[in-house]
């Protein structure tokens, strides 16, 4: 029975690595995974999913107007793997649920839970509400605790407290922290 999974975690929790490993496992068994990533995140190149440990794969891209159900229904797949799922709209998250329920294809979505202010992303909020399975992937704060928050920093390493919810970046723009250290850094200054 197909299910909708949401794998979430802070930056550097291994979400893309886990997705790429799942794709490899499906292919190794002769199955066809269909990979998706957000069009606005082109750090690895347009239509590419890449992990910090060097794994990469081509992917379909979704933007705000993409009808995921229609695009997925148009080509055969044994599994749908979605990277950067926080950038889905609530409607697109519902479309993925329709893929599971109507087409019988499992969907594994991977993304951040919260933004640099500790607020839920719309796609993540909807996935947290409707996913059949929620799986937290763990990152580690510098203190050794589980990192659950993403602190945006500027080029000098100073915490950023205001701005657009979405600003693409990696270790140069974000630090994964436990709640305590996130709150201390966010409130300081």
What are the tens digits of pLDDT across the range 117-144?
Answer: 889 999 999 999 999 999 999 999 999 9
Cα–Cα dist 132/93, whole Å: 12
What integer is the mean pLDDT of 51-75?
Answer: 91
pLDDT at 164: 61
Q: Is the pLDDT of residue 54 over 70?
A: yes
What integer is the mean pLDDT of 66-82?
Answer: 97
The length of the chain in residues reads 189
| Residues tagged active-site | 84
Whether residues 109 and 183 fall in one domain: no
Whether residues 71 and 25 fall in one domain: yes
Whether residues 24 and 110 fall in one domain: yes
Whether residues 14 and 57 fall in one domain: yes
Whether residues 113 and 34 fall in one domain: yes
Whether residues 156 and 127 fall in one domain: no
What integer is the mean pLDDT of 155-180?
Answer: 75
Number of domains in the chain: 2
Whether residues 26 and 70 fall in one domain: yes
Whether residues 38 and 128 fall in one domain: yes
- With vertex at residue 93, the alpha carbon angle to CA 89 and CA 95, rounded to the nearest 5 degrees, is 110
Average pLDDT over the chain, rounded to an integer: 90
Whether residues 61 and 112 fall in one domain: yes
Cα–Cα dist 40/62, whole Å: 9
CB 105 within 8 A of CB 79: yes
What are the residues facing 135 on neighbouring strands? 7
Whether residues 151 and 74 fall in one domain: no
Whether residues 77 and 161 fall in one domain: no
pTM over 0.85: yes
Whether residues 33 and 92 fall in one domain: yes
Q: Is the pLDDT of residue 100 over 60?
A: yes
Domain harbouring 13, CATH code: 3.40.50.300
What integer is the mean pLDDT of 32-56?
Answer: 82
* Enclosing domain of residue 154: 146-187
């Amino acid at each position: 029975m197909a299910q909708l999974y949401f794998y979430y975690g802070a930056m550097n929790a291994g979400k893309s690595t886990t997705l790429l490993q799942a794709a490899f496992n499906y292919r190794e068994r002769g199955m066809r995974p269909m990979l998706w990533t957000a069009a606005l995140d082109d750090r690895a190149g347009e239509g590419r999913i890449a992990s910090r440990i060097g794994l990469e794969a081509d992917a379909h891209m979704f933007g705000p107007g993409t009808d995921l159900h229609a695009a997925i229904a148009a080509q055969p797949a044994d599994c749908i793997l979605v990277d950067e799922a926080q950038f889905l709209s609530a409607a697109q998250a519902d479309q993925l649920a329709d893929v599971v329920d109507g087409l019988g294809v499992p969907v594994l979505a991977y993304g951040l839970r919260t933004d640099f202010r500790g607020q839920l992303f719309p796609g993540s909020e909807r996935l947290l509400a409707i996913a059949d399975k929620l799986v937290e992937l763990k990152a580690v704060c510098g203190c050794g605790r589980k990192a659950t928050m993403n602190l945006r920093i500027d080029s000098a390493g100073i915490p950023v407290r205001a701005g657009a919810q979405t600003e693409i970046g990696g270790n140069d723009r974000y630090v994964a922290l436990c709640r305590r250290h996130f709150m201390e850094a966010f409130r300081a200054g």
